[in-house]
Structure 1
Amino acid sequence: MNHETLQEWLVYIDRLHSHAIDLGLQRVRAVYEGMTPLSCPVITVGGTNGKGSTSAILESFYRAAGYRTGAYFSPHLIRYNERVRVNAEEVTDEALCQAFAAVEEARDATPLTYFEFGTLAALWLFAQTGVEVAILEVGLGGRLDAVNIVDADVAVVVSVGTDHKDWLGPDRETIGREKAGIFRAGRPAIIGFDVSESVAREAHRMNARAVIARRDFHYEESPWAWRFLSAARAWDLPYPALRGRYQLANASCALAAAEALPGLTLTAQDVRAGLQAVRLAGRFQTLPGPGPRVVLDVAHNAEAAHTLALTLNEQRVAGRTLAVVGMFKDKPIIEVFEALRGSFDGWFLASLDDPRGADAVFLEAALRTAGVTPDGLYDDPVEAYTAALGCARDDDRVVVFGSFKTVGAILALMQDRRGGGGGGRVV
């Protein structure tokens, strides 16, 4: 069955499987075996937080070096096209439709989830466009995630937190073992700075070549630059274009992965250029323009909330800091609010129009449990954002956070005001 538009395809694949999540590799691997496989080096990046940033940094390194790159991200903020980039550009609607048609032909009657279908489409596109390196961000967990049908030449676990307990396990140790499932015997396994011991143990059990933060690589900060250190090199580097000191840990993991990948050379000049060129929306992203400073951050779990609180404290403003927040009900909302209650002078709570979305009344109860009284309850993120801007002064800061859907709503609003649109450039 073929469809004429990307939207028609997205509606179709969303309804194809009876469950949004169905962890396991048997079905998706069977379909992939009937498709054109990737023949280039692959870096797979997993973790609770930081995997999107680390993937984007790797993509930027290899683009700066002149390699043809493919990068797969999830979820998207505004357009599905954001998930699949070739040479750091979103692929077109037409290219995605061709890829979905190829998956549909290969799958026969095999049921696939939305994420599985999209993952196969991305892999097909990368194979068809002849990318020289593919960077694949894990969707959920690792061991049973659709991305794991590909045997990564280098695998990275950036961090381990306690998100998705219903799917991955009750604690960091169990979740860490699931995330370590992307490692392969005899191949480099990069283990990040905020990772449970279970990840290193699992790497050892699998006979992967563990490369461990603080033991095999680390970084040092200074006011205007930072230094990456490993057994092979010590590089003085500019800060990444992605804001926040925490991005140095992500950049270090990316460098350790690039250092471990055979066959593709990066110079110090490539790395410096890549750090300055990297882009990924919604990661402490500051919008341009006069008036109150607006920051967008997809932080939606306790670990990310603590990081956001630290970054807000490091980057102070003269005036107040106001929160615009919308979240999913299955997130640790009270823990997030407790982590951030000292960071904001006002709270504007938004309902999310999604089956998983929490309404503003639900958020209010959680915020009061955390010891804070909200300033207003609103039907959606745009309404809450507009209200926050309406009472903000020029020296204030408005921070939108809580989910990709919340941040995406404000990015879409900004795009509409600029008259933007479209679905990516031609591959």
Structure 2
Amino acid sequence: MQNLPTTLPEWLAMLETRHSETQINMGLERVQAVKARMGLQFSCPVVMVAGTNGKGSTCAMLESVLLRAGYKVGLYIKPHFLDFNERARVNGAMAGDAELVASFAAVEAARGATPLTYFEFTTLAILHLLAGAGLDVAILEVGLGGRLDAVNVIDADVAIVTSVDIDHTDYLGSTREAIGFEKAGIFRPGKAAICSDPVPPQSLIDHAAAIGADLWLMGRDFNYSGDKQQWNYGGRAQRRNSLAYPSLRGANQILNAAAVLAALEVLRLELPVGAQEVRSGLVLVELPGRFQVLPGRPSVILDVAHNPHAAAALSQNLGNMGFHPYTYAVFGSMQDKDIDGVMAAMGEHVDHWCVCGLASARAAGAAELAAKAQLMLAGRSDSDERSVAIFADPAEAYANALSRAGENDRIVVFGSFLTVAGVMVARKSSLH
């Protein structure tokens, strides 16, 4: 136990070097063992959220509504953009360095000789922090999959699966049925299991039945209806009418919001929430990097779309934005993503590709992205007015797009979290 780090940056640096050999190590035995030694458990309702896309939005809306209702809410969400502290929130505020350092030390003390990956170690630390914060409710976002994700060592009172699509195929399988089974791993016997995917995989339905979970399906157990001004929620025993649309943009957000209201219906005895709190919670919710349109001109849109399903949603949202003469894309991606699928979903909108490298060993090379972009533009009749340029990092790519874009044009920053984070950092430093 000698010479443990005393600051958060020192802890994170140590964990990154210590666990570089085991980036992702599937299986919960090690995490379960350390959790047991820590005596880690929650004395409040726990809502767990998994899914290919829409997890962050669902967590943010649920947190926003419950905060408006006066509850003390804990949130674990990831990855972070600028500061690690973003991953742990208590009552809407990021956890402080001192609290995180104390929780890291608690995990290290209980770990003994048990090796933990960076993700496992930090997850246990944040769970420890939240479990000791005197919460009324905890909201936990699952990282990869569900069944074998470190967060799944906690038993959720309500489990939500937002969407099931193809991503992380190396770990989760290459079909929606295989991935659906992994996501359904967060369901528990006798507890509510909510799925807001309109076409849930049969594997998810079968697993819920096999373990005796209380499955809530979109269209069967809960649904929504609406017009341009407002929408209505209908559940098993609760209706909510004349609701405002969520401030998070995009057609898919109504599915996420309906799942949030289903979760609140399940918890209505422990955590009653009024109509006005639901309305204001949905209107005031904020989530960086999910179809986030920044103020000013040219329009700048930040979106962490990094799989075809998310890119298709981004494309649809861009199509609803009205006319822009030219669209510049700042794009960087991890190598293990379906890059062709992502770029194809966005191809109709992008006139100028500013592709970039990323600071990760898993990143795709910018030259490879540029070659794919050139192929896409080659098929267009107006290809002589289009361009592809290569940059070392997101900040350079964004600076170039900004220098070329007219005030009526738009810049879309998308792909990896690292792409969006790189531009956020660049914008932040340019303001100081």
Same fold by TM (over 0.5)? yes
**Structure 2, unpaired ranges of 5+:** 379-385
Pairing 1:167-206 to 2, within 5 Å after superposition: 167-194=171-198, 195-206=200-211
The AA in structure 2 aligned to 1:87 is: N
Aligned partner of 1:422 in structure 2 is: none
Aligned positions of 1:338-417 closer than 5 A:
338-371=344-377, 374-417=387-430
CA offset digits 1:58-81 (Å, max 9, x no partner): 111110101001100111111111
Q: Structure 1: which amino acid aligns with 2:224? A: Y
Check whether the contact 1:45–1:51 (CA below 8 A) recurs between aligned residues.
Answer: yes
The structure whose RCO (Cα within 8 Å, separation 6+) is larger is: 1
Q: Distance in 1 between matches of 2:312 and 2:111?
A: 42
Alignment match, 1:25: 28
Matches within 5 A, 1:196-235: 196-231=201-236, 232-235=238-241
Residue pair 1:193, 1:214 contacting (<8 A) in 2 also? no
In structure 2, give the amino acid aligned to 1:278. V
The aligned residue for residue 301 of structure 1 is 307
| Counterpart-to-counterpart distance in 1, 2:122 and 2:188 | 23
User: 2:147 is aligned with what amino acid?
Assistant: R
Encode CA deviations 1:348-374: one digit per residue, 9 max, x unaligned.
Answer: 111112101112101012223445574
Structure-1 separation of matches of 2:264 and 2:223:
14
Among candidates 274, 281, 291, match of residue 274 of structure 1: 281
Q: What secondary structure does 1:414 align onto?
A: helix
| In structure 2, C-alpha distance between the alignment counterparts of 1:78 and 1:19, rounded to whole Å | 24
Residue 247 of structure 2 contacts residue 283 of structure 2 at CA under 8 Å; is this kept in 1? yes
Map Cα deviations across residues 86-119 of structure 1 (whole Å, 9 max, x no partner): 1111111111111111111111111111111111
SS of the residue corresponding to residue 295 of structure 1 reads: strand
How many corresponding residue pairs? 418
Task: Give 1:418 shift.
Answer: 3.1
Check whether the contact 1:285–1:297 (CA below 8 A) recurs between aligned residues: yes
Contact 1:317–1:397 under 8 Å retained in 2: no
- Give the aligned residue type for 2:203: S
Could you tell me whether the CA contact under 8 Å between 1:334 and 1:367 is conserved in 2?
Answer: no
Q: Which residue of 1 aligns with 2:72?
A: 68
* Change in CA separation of 1:120 and 1:351 when aligned onto 2, cut-off 3 Å: same
Aligned partner of 1:108 among 108, 112, 122: 112
Q: Secondary structure at the match of 1:21?
A: coil
Q: Is the 8 A contact 2:240 2:275 kept in 1?
A: no
TM-score normalized by the length of structure 2 = 0.94
Deviation readout 1:254-300 (Å, 9 max, x if unpaired): 111121125111111111111122111100011123x2010100000
Name the counterpart of 2:383.
none
Contact map agreement 2:74 2:137 (CA 8 A) in 1: yes
- CA deviation profile, 1:218-268 (whole Å, cap 9, x unmatched): 122322222222232132211112111211111111111121125111111
**DSSP-derived class of the 1:375 partner:** strand
Q: Aligned letter for 1:9?
A: W
Give the root-mean-square deviation of aligned CA atoms.
1.4
Q: Does 1:284 align with 2:287?
A: no
**Unpaired segments of 5 or more residues in structure 1?**
420-427
Amino acid at match of 2:396: E
Task: Give the match for residue 331 of structure 2.
Answer: 325
Judging changes above 3 Å, is the alpha-carbon distance between structure 1 residues 363 and 318 closer, same or farther for their aligned structure 2 residues? Answer: closer
Whether the aligned pair in 1 keeps the contact of 2:351 and 2:387 (CA below 8 Å) is no
Contact preservation (8 Å) 1:293, 1:398: yes
Displacement of 1:391: 1.0
How far apart are 1:343 and its partner, in Å?
1.5
SS in 1 for 2:37: coil
TM-score where L is the length of structure 1: 0.95
AA aligned opposite 1:320: Y
